[in-house]
């Protein structure tokens, strides 16, 4: 008969961080502020740049300046159009013989916008024409001092070059930010996909791990499992045989996560299917190995210990496919139940040694995975098999051996321990009253 087993939940380890939002002004407010600032700067430049023999600035001149500023409302959608419109306005301004104010403000902004949004051809071309045309005009058509002309041309060219380079830097930064955002988005999508796969794998694992333990008269069975990740590769199982014996299996799949959970589920399914039919532990492991060799990735294999227990006599048969050796504790001490065999899934044609022994009254058998013995504390010292053997030796018969082993592990690793591997523990203990009851039955039979 099977009774519900106790489960131990591991506290969640995820940390939820709340984002901190920094308020940003609305885009329309930024647009209006930019247009107002540029319009004011252009109007000031017009008013303080009088020239002899030029027209006095009037409403048309200021209107052209404000028009160039208003074009900035369209800078995000049509940056090249803003640049073309600004150049046309400037040419119209100079064509009407208004004062020749320095065109840095009205031309620098659209040059920067175009360079930060598109290729360099248009802004570089307009900047070159704007510098070269006055240079030719002032040297050849209406000659001026060469040094003055060169000084003004170098000043304008350097300024426009710096503006264009700033636009290139901003564009590169935006491209980098977009790439990072894309990577983060893809990483988040991948994380969600992996989380879904982990959920499915966890569901599969929960379906295969026993939810009840065998209730055997004269025997006590306990089990404990804790994965190092969301899903793990360790497993244990109990199988009722046709002749009344109980099959006990403990295994460990190399690797962790969803692939290990899938291989674990496959191995358990094979054990449950083949054990009642083949009966012999060595034959069961041999059959499971043949199937796994053809259906398991080359980098993965399974260690497994399979035991058949006759609850009436205490006789056990065991075969081991490279798994951690079980410990048998009796009144005479602790001994290893040793049987040789390679892990499952490595190569075909493997045979497995089978050993037999008897669990006397007041004895108990510990089956375990390597996650407990190979745990490390903060000083990188390993828990080790000798420490585990001492726990088995010193644990009183009235105490639960699994609780004692976990308590010793907690003392060894400390509160800040981060689990490295799955931990699986199964104990099978024969009651001390078994011998008394059998002796009483024999005495009654002889008296009769």
Domain boundaries, the chain: 27-185, 209-447
How far, in Å, CA of 114 to CA of 124, rounded?
10
pLDDT of the residue at 5: 46
How many other CB atoms are found less than 10 A from the CB of residue 392? 20
Each residue's pLDDT, cut to its tens digit, for the chain (448 residues) gives: 344 344 444 443 433 444 455 567 888 888 899 899 989 988 888 888 777 778 888 899 899 989 999 999 998 889 888 889 998 998 888 888 887 766 777 888 888 888 888 778 888 888 888 788 778 877 888 787 888 878 877 878 888 888 888 888 888 888 888 889 999 999 999 888 877 877 777 777 777 788 889 999 999 999 999 887 766 778 999 999 998 899 999 999 887 767 777 888 889 989 999 999 887 999 999 999 999 998 888 788 999 999 999 999 999 999 999 999 999 999 899 999 999 999 999 999 999 999 999 999 999 999 999 999 999 998 899 999 999 999 999 999 889 999 999 999 999 998 888 888 889 999 999 987 544 455 545 544 555 4
DSSP conformation class of 278: H
Asked whether 356 and 315 are in contact (CB, 8 A), the reply is: yes
Long-range Cβ pairs for the range 380-385 (8 Å, 24+)? 383/409, 383/412, 383/413
Rg (CA), the chain: 42
Q: How far is CA 163 from CA 27, 81, 168, 388, 444, in A?
A: 23, 18, 9, 72, 109
Closest CA to 327 of 377, 296, 372, 381: 372
The domain 209-447 having CATH identifier 1.10.10.60: the answer here is no
Contact 266, 295 (CB under 8 A): yes
Q: Could you tell me the sign of the dihedral formed by the alpha carbons of 401, 407, 411, 414, in that order?
A: positive
> Which residues lie across from 234 on neighbouring strands?
252
423 within 8 A of 226, measured Cβ to Cβ: yes
Tell me what pLDDT residue 445 has: 54
Kind of pairing between the strands at 219-226 and 423-430 = antiparallel
First-residue to last-residue Cα distance in the chain = 32
Neighbours of 20 (CB within 10 A): 5
pLDDT tens-digit readout, 15-36: 344 445 556 788 888 889 989 9
Alpha carbons 45 and 53: distance in angstroms, whole number: 18
Handedness of CA 282, 288, 289, 291 (dihedral sign): positive
- Cα–Cα dist 224/423, whole Å: 8
Name the helix (H) or strand (E) containing 190. Answer: helix 146-208
User: Do 210 and 4 contact (CB within 8 A), yes or no?
Assistant: no
Is 359 within 8 Å of 430 (Cβ atoms)?
yes
């Amino acid at each position: 008969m099977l009774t519900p087993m106790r489960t131990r939940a591991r506290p969640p380890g995820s940390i939820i961080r709340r984002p901190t939002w920094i308020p940003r002004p609305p885009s329309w407010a930024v647009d209006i502020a930019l247009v107002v600032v540029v319009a004011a700067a252009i109007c000031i430049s017009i008013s303080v740049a009088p020239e002899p023999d030029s027209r006095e600035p009037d409403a048309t001149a200021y209107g052209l300046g404000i028009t160039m500023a208003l074009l900035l409302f369209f800078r995000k959608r049509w940056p090249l159009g803003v640049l073309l419109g600004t150049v046309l306005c400037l040419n119209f301004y100079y064509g009407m013989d208004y004062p020749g104010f320095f065109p840095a403000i009205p031309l620098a902004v659209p040059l920067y916008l175009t360079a930060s949004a598109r290729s360099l051809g248009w802004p570089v071309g307009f900047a070159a024409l704007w510098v070269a045309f006055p240079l030719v005009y002032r040297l050849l058509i209406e000659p001026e001092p060469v040094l003055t002309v060169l000084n003004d041309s170098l000043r304008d060219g350097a300024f426009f070059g710096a503006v264009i380079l700033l636009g290139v830097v901003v564009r590169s930064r935006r491209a980098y930010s977009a790439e990072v955002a894309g990577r983060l988005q893809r990483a988040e999508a991948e994380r969600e996909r992996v989380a879904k796969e982990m959920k499915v794998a966890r569901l599969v694992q929960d379906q295969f791990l026993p939810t009840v333990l065998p209730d055997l008269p004269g025997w006590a069975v306990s089990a404990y499992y804790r994965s190092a990740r969301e899903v793990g590769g360790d497993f244990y199982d109990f199988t009722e045989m046709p002749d009344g014996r109980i099959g006990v299996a403990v295994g460990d799949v190399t690797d962790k996560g969803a692939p290990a959970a899938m291989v674990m589920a496959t191995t358990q399914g094979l054990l449950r299917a083949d054990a009642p039919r083949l009966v012999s532990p060595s034959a069961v492991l041999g059959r499971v190995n043949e199937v796994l060799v053809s259906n398991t990735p080359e980098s993965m294999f399974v260690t497994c210990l399979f035991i058949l227990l006759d609850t009436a006599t205490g006789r056990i048969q065991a075969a081991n496919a490279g798994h951690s050796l079980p410990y048998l504790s009796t009144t005479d001490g602790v001994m290893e139940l040793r049987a040789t065999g390679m892990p499952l899934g490595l190569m075909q044609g493997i045979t497995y040694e089978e050993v037999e022994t008897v669990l006397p009254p007041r004895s108990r058998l510990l089956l375990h995975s390597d996650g407990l013995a190979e745990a490390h504390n903060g000083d990188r010292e390993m828990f080790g098999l000798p420490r585990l053997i001492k726990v088995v030796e010193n644990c009183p018969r009235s105490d639960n051996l699994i609780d004692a082993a976990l308590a010793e592990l907690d003392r060894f690793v400390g509160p800040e321990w981060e689990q490295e591997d799955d931990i699986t523990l199964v104990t099978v203990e024969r009651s001390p009253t078994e011998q008394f009851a059998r002796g009483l039955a024999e005495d009654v039979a002889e008296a009769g």
